[in-house]
Amino acid sequence: MPRRVCSYFLLSFLFLFGCGPESKMAILSGTVTIDGQPAETGSISFIPVDGMTQTAGASIENGKFTSEVPIGESKVEIRVPKVVGKQKLYDTPDSPEQEIMAEVLPAKYNEATELRFTADKGKNEKNFELSTK
């Protein structure tokens, strides 16, 4: 009887964890450069064009990113903010200040993105060379 119970648990474990549906995500790493220079900081998002698969994204640091992305074609949105000023939080002389941020990149790379990427199973690599012009 114990052997039968062990076999049952082993088969259940394999079914639940080893025989489940295949992953619909891939690994993507790459770089983001702007006018030939690495983007210091920012974010990158992957929005599947099928509208059914989950979206994904990652931070960009020193021009590099790594993310799990959905397999198939995605729209890519890249945002790179910069500080353009400061403003007081309150109308008082000793008010703390808050940084004012603005987007470095044109809308064709984020709000109205023209960027696309098609991920295959496994590991992928993609470098985005962008221009502010």
The model's pLDDT over 74-118, given as tens digits with 9 standing for 90+, comes to 999 999 999 889 999 999 999 999 999 999 999 999 999 999 999
Task: Note the pLDDT of residue 22.
Answer: 56
- What letter represents residue 44's amino acid? I
Helix or strand run (H / E) with residue 8: helix 2-13
Check if the beta carbon of residue 21 is closer than 8 Å to that of residue 118. Answer: no
Length of the chain as a residue count: 133
